[in-house]
Structure 1
Amino acid sequence: MKRSSTRLVSLLLGLALAAAACGGDTAEPESTEPPATTTTAAAPEDPATTQASPTTTEAEAPTTTAATTTEPIEEATPEEPMEPTQVAYLSASSANTWLAASREAMEKLAAENNIEIVEFDAQFDPALQQQQFQDAITAGRYDGIILVAIAGAAAIPDILDALDAGIEVVALNQVVGDDLVTAEPQVEGMAAAVFEPPYHRGTRLGELTVAACAGIDPCNVVYFYGIRGIPLDEAVRGGWDESVAGSTVTVAAEAEGLYLGPDVALDAMQDILVTESDIDVVVGADQSMQGAEIALTDAGREGIRIIGFGGSSYAVEAITDGRWWGGLYGAPYTEGRLAMEAMVQALAGIDMGGVDTSLNIPNRGLMTQDNIDEFPGEWDG
């Protein structure tokens, strides 16, 4: 039986409309700022205090019976632990498993540097993220903001507001600007930007697709966007189109997976299988490819090559087992660690600039059965 799921985009629009309706026409919008959960470092143990006894020599011995007294030595008072520095984390979606891995790495490094992270969940809603951004600025208690931008260049005015307020800003995972080829910050004053340029990610994904289509003419490909229209996905698709141009690749169908697990892509792939009988390759984010794999298995369609991008533990296992043809590696835990390192440096007055997380990955991140042992999965998928 075909499985069904609620489309996330419709849900988000519904939630936004419901929230507006519940608020009334004249009510002031409530702050989106999450409650802070301050962690306090353990106080150091009281230092040991010793009081030296006076010593006398025979020549100095008193000739009277009056008692000899000494002034008491005050005990040292342990220093109060420093309050943690607060950093706002403007996440595109707390439910996204890639970003959850980044958050885990950030939390670890933050704890080592007396930093408290307060997460704002935008639920892939650009308008909600813009409101959360302004709430974080006006709160007046954040020294830094780590931003996973949903709307790309549209976040620049909010970044400028944060910089004017003296808040350090680090971009994570997403381009903020019009240049989709570079990892360099595109807003003057930003401390750092940490991600693989999405256009390059698309060209590498295209290379894998052409390799999977070798000897197949035409090679009918189903292409899954994550979220059609957002800067990340449009850049990935642009790079993919460049790589497959002039090859035997033909786009047979397109769909969306929404980056939130297999269900949405499962439904979409089931719909495609009703109308498309000749499919050679399916390409998309790891979460989407999990759903596509289920649909293909349920339909008894064999021999279709699956290519994911993300490098999840699931993808690594699937490539190892031969269920998937290949994939493009991603390292969200490393991204999160580097983003927090950049924030620590920024709070100390040092800007790291652009950090391309793909530069030190084996084989440029292109995973196949021949080299899959070189790629440890950093997230579950």
Structure 2
Amino acid sequence: MKNKIIKVITLPFIIFFISFSSFAADLNIAFFASSSENGYNQATWEGVKKAANEAGNVNAEIFNGEFNATLQYGQIEDIIASGKFDGFVVVPNDTVGIAGAIEQAIDAGIKVASSLFPIGPDLTTLEPQVDGLTATAAGSPVYGATLQANEVVKYCAGKNPCNTIIMIGQKIYPFDKLRYDTFLEILGKESNIKIVATVEGNYSPDVSLTGMTDALQSAKDVHVVLSNADQHLLGAEIALADAGYNVEDLYLMGGGAAEVAIEAIRAGQWDATFIGVPLSEGYLAAKAVIAALNGEDVDPIIDITKPEIVGIDPIITKEVLDAHPNWQPEWGG
């Protein structure tokens, strides 16, 4: 009789324990892409899913911000209200304006990490600018733009004039405005470098093709194309070739280290690209959120330009690739 009583008491306890453990371990993360149709964001999403799969008890869902800051802000507010998600990973469209929505999420007990860019008015620091932000997996736009512009200065040394076209995503974006201003500041100090046109490519080869075609109507004898994004150069090189240029004779600098850029650099078609590791950004941001949800201490600063993370020099040239033959890009472009 004693054994039977023990079984009756123990069995419901076991059932309750198993049921509670399964429920408690179920975590949901929302990934807010600046645009889910953008290749860089797609690779970031792969990183988020990788972290969720490794955790084994995490579900992840993506939301398309369509490169629309107002839409993305509303999405975050709607998801907070739904009460469905425990954590957010955000690639912000408006790094300043989105802070209000992030504060709402944190106040609701949601763990939030930013990817690609810091959230807040100062894009030069990875230190949290929103109280309670779990982590930022990003690099400073100024750091990258400075390295890119300095490479152009080196190339243009001894060439007068050195006619340069700048390609930028959209100057309305705070991060792109900061990059653009950095380009202008550094190149503007060199009397031989002439900015003959600026093209806003909106991270689209098609938009870039149209923009560069238009720019080349008035910009003549171009020597350099400096872009913050590899996608821009895909359209730009078509326009340049159509205008009669031998693209290999020009200096082309992209950004993002996409597979298409790495192939073009190895082939001698392009000259350089600034590092981008979107899969690692998403992966590390999601891992930070998951760790925080599990009660672990998290380093709020994840600098994705560090060599120990990216595994290669931040400005990638053919010489750098030859020195790192096993390095592979994290996205297609």
Give the aligned partner of residue 359 of structure 1. Answer: 306
Q: Shift of the alpha carbon at 1:363? A: 6.3
Q: Shift of the alpha carbon at 1:91? A: 1.1
Cα distance in 2 between the residues matched to 1:276 and 1:197: 31
Counting helix residues as a fraction of each chain, which structure ranks higher? 2
Give the aligned partner of residue 195 of structure 2. Answer: 251
Q: Shift of the alpha carbon at 1:179? A: 1.3
Percent identity over the alignment is: 33
For the Cα contact (< 8 Å) 1:199–1:237, is it kept in 2? no
Residue from 239, 244, 253 that aligns with 1:295: 239
**CA displacement 1:150-182 (0-9 Å, x = unmatched):** 111111111111111111111111221121211
Residue from 319, 328, 331 that aligns with 1:376: 328
Residue from 218, 227, 230 that aligns with 2:173: 230
Higher Rg of the two aligned structures = 1
Q: Decide whether aligned partners of structure 1 residues 117 and 200 sit closer, same or farther in structure 2, where only a CA change above 3 A counts.
A: same
For the Cα contact (< 8 Å) 1:266–1:295, is it kept in 2? yes
The answer to whether residue 310 in structure 2 is matched with residue 310 in structure 1 is no
Q: Which runs of 5+ in 1 are unaligned?
A: 1-69
Cα distance in 2 between the residues matched to 1:82 and 1:111: 16
Does 108-117 or 241-250 show the bigger shift?
241-250
Cα distance in 1 between the residues matched to 2:114 and 2:329: 23
Q: Shift of the alpha carbon at 1:298? A: 2.4
Does 209-218 or 138-147 show the bigger shift?
209-218
Q: Decide whether aligned partners of structure 1 residues 183 and 364 sit closer, same or farther in structure 2, where only a CA change above 3 A counts.
A: farther
Q: Which runs of 5+ in 2 are unaligned?
A: none
Cα distance in 2 between the residues matched to 1:362 and 1:281: 28
State how 1:117-196 maps to structure 2 within 5 Å. 117-196=60-139
Give the aligned partner of residue 103 of structure 1. Answer: 45
How many equivalent residue pairs?
311
Residue from 143, 154, 160 that aligns with 1:200: 143
Q: What is the Cα-based RMSD across aligned positions, in Å?
A: 2.2
**CA displacement 1:1-55 (0-9 Å, x = unmatched):** xxxxxxxxxxxxxxxxxxxxxxxxxxxxxxxxxxxxxxxxxxxxxxxxxxxxxxx
Cα distance in 2 between the residues matched to 1:264 and 1:190: 35
Specify the code of the residue in structure 2 equivalent to 1:96. N
**CA displacement 1:178-235 (0-9 Å, x = unmatched):** 2121112211111111101111111011112112223211211110111221011012
Cα distance in 2 between the residues matched to 1:198 and 1:100: 20
Does 210-219 or 317-326 show the bigger shift?
210-219
Normalised by the length of structure 2, the TM-score is: 0.87
Normalised by the length of structure 1, the TM-score is: 0.77
